[in-house]
Structure 1
Amino acid sequence: MTGSSKASFCSMKDFLKQTGGFAVIDGGLATEFERHGADLNDPLWSAKCLVTSPHLIHSVHLDYLEAGADIISSSSYQATIQGFQAKGFSIEESESLLTKSVEIACEARNTYYDKCGTSSSMDDIILKKRPILVAASVGSYGAYLADGSEYSGIYGDSITLEKLKDFHRRRVQVLAESGADLIAFETIPNKIEAQAFAELLEEGDVKIPGWFSFNSKDGVNVVSGDSIKECIAIAESCEKVVAVGINCTPPRFIEGLVNEIEKVTSKPILVYPNSGESYDAERKEWVENTGVGDEDFVSYVEKWMDAGVSLLGGCCRTTPTTIRAIHKRLVNRRSH
């Protein structure tokens, strides 16, 4: 799986055998774009960079690969056909931008492989030819609303299972045909959306697998209050889901959630928490000094692996420095 991994990615378990039992997921994208000067105060959020600064997306993907990430996610978390249309794009242009998000990630992977062949590794840059997956990111319906409801899971009585499937269907199909290895269904806030994603995967039009990642604000349930076990059970029953876990959740909650997840799944478990900082949905910004630094974040990694986690990374407010530190912990674990 060097070069394009498309033909040989069959299951996450097989991938993990090639990576020594553990793999590194990349870190935050949108907050990293902002750190580089991008203004994402827009309903498109990180997807705005697909229009304004695709070179920045490529650069951040490459930063994560050089930090040791084995899996990078496309900048399509908040990219939806409906969201692009609201900004004046046609359906064709909207679908093209979805495809572009994956193409940029694949190009970054190719750039990384080229660098592996021509450059000597520096102390802070990992240049090692290894299996690398590109995951097409799919955010929840709440992410499209851009009102913070992916952190509550409260969509109202008018949102039904069929409406959610209709909302996501074409977007998922386009991303599945864009060259990605799998689809990362991320920050899933409730059972009904998990069910919608599972049914879309099983409809037959989606030819690649996916992972399901939920978020929690209390360390017990997903953010809507739905049972984490019931949500994971939906993913467990879907053959095309190749890994399950937690993202965009404070690090202190991860171990307890993983202990519950492990009781109801046989699939690989993934975690990519945020920095622990609070998000102010009204002001659309992260509250400074409410989270943990890289050193404290990475101090949890051994506990997560001991609890059964095999894929580890970061979400909002984590950086390539965070991912490099996780990579070093995993190198030590693999060597043992």
Structure 2
Amino acid sequence: LHQRPAAIRAAHERYLEAGAELLITASYQASRAGFAALGLGAEEADALLQRSVQLAREASRAAHVPDALVAASVGPWGAVQHDGSEYTGRYAIASDELAAFHAQRLTVLAAARPDLLACETIPNRQEAQVLAELLHDHELPAFVSFCCRDSAHLSDGTPLAEVVLLFQGHARVRALGINCTAPQHVAALLHIMRDTVPDMPLLVYPNSGERYDAAANRWCGTATAAEVAAAAKGWQQAGARAIGGCCRVGPEHISALKRALRET
């Protein structure tokens, strides 16, 4: 956002050209604290957060997809800690401090007028509860998407069925979903959400299916475009209304996914 905004815009364009209809901004790990470490002040940091929305808008115009939706990414607190806690859900922060962190980013991003707010990769009940309360203060629609460790639980072990009830009947939350999760868990997680909050639209954008080997510092396994597309058909049948990809899912996967879903 600070040094290479054109690279972000170009990445958005590649996904749009592959058939994407919704862009998520490059604000997932962005924060005042993170930019402060680069010597930037609060005003500069806020301007860069808002630039993430502008870049997505510019990409949609450049790719001639003016109807593409832009969702402002509101990543979890753990993502800005750079300690992997967004994947474990183990937070060492009081709820009032967590609320202050999210409130500031939500206000800044909402002022850039995205189409919706994307509260994503939420790994624990504490953060879900905080966001459920804060989103009442914003006029923009939002979706909330969870990071899960298996076929039934968030990263911290909280049952998914328990957490989704926090958003039942929520005036601002228009969809719930799963992201940054191994694809083999998605169908079961969709069934849980569909059974627990049957009136809530559902979305999924899991990881590619490759596994990261931290010791070897590399990704292992396969995740071809055909494999992702085949899995997406099952997610659609399980109730997903919007389907995409998270880590290691590239434009080629999105292109194959869109073709496959058009056939069903």
Q: TM-score, normalised by structure 2?
A: 0.95
- Give the aligned partner of residue 15 of structure 2: 64
Confirm or deny that 1:246 pairs with 2:164: no
Which residue, out of 94, 101, 106, partners 2:57?
106
Match of 1:307 among 220, 231, 238: 238
Change in 2 beyond 3 A, CA 1:270/1:112:
same
**Aligned-partner Cα distance in 1 for 2:256–2:66:** 18
User: Is the Cα contact below 8 Å between 2:10 and 2:59 reproduced in 1?
Assistant: yes
More RCO (CA 8 Å, sep 6+): 1
Pairwise CA distance, 1:146: 0.7
CA gap of 1:291–1:166, structure 2 versus 1, over 3 A, is farther
Aligned partners of 2:205 and 2:243 also within 8 Å: yes
Q: 1:74 aligns with which of 21, 25, 32?
A: 25
Q: Matched residues in 2 for 1:282 and 1:180: separation? A: 39
Segments ≥4 residues shifted beyond 4 Å: 280-283
What are the within-5 Å matches in structure 2 for residues 215-294 of structure 1?
215-265=147-197, 266-279=199-212, 287-294=218-225
The corresponding residue for 1:15 is none
Where in structure 2 are there 5+ consecutive unaligned residues? none
CA distances 1:185-233 after superposition (whole Å, capped 9, x unpaired): 110001110111111111x2x2211100001122220110011011111
Secondary structure of the residue that 1:288 maps to in structure 2?
Answer: strand
Q: Of residues 255, 260, 263 in structure 2, which corresponds to 1:329?
A: 260
- For residue 136 of structure 1, what is the aligned residue in structure 2? 72
Give the distance between the partners of 2:88 and 2:215, measured in 1 at CA: 13
Shift of 1:130: 6.8
SS of corresponding position for 1:298: helix
Deviation at 1:290, TM superposition (A): 3.1
Write the distance in 1 (CA, Å) between the matches of 2:113 and 2:215: 36
CA distance in 2, matches of 1:208, 1:255: 29
For 1:256, the aligned partner's letter is: A
Q: Tell me, yes or no, if the aligned pair for 1:103 and 1:179 is still in contact at 8 Å.
A: no
- Quick one: which of 164, 170, 181 aligns to 2:104? 170
| Aligned-partner SS, 2:11 | helix
- Structure 1 unaligned segments of length 5 or more: list them: 1-49, 114-128
Identity across matched positions, percent: 40
**Which secondary structure state, in structure 1, belongs to the residue aligned with residue 259 of structure 2?**
helix
- Contact 1:147 / 1:282 at 8 angstroms: preserved in 2? no
In the alignment, structure 1 residue 187 sits paired with structure 2 residue 138: no
**Offset at residue 132 of structure 1 (A):** 1.5
When normalised by structure 1's length, the TM-score is 0.75
**Counterpart Cα distance in 2 of 1:291 and 1:150:** 24
In structure 1, distance between residues paired with 2:35 and 2:96: 22
- 1:52 and 1:235 mapped to 2: Cα distance? 37
Partner of 1:124: none
Once residues 314 and 137 of structure 1 are traced to their aligned partners in structure 2, the CA distance between those partners, rounded to angstroms, is 14
Secondary structure of 1:263's counterpart equals helix
For the aligned residue pairs, the C-alpha RMSD in angstroms reads 1.6
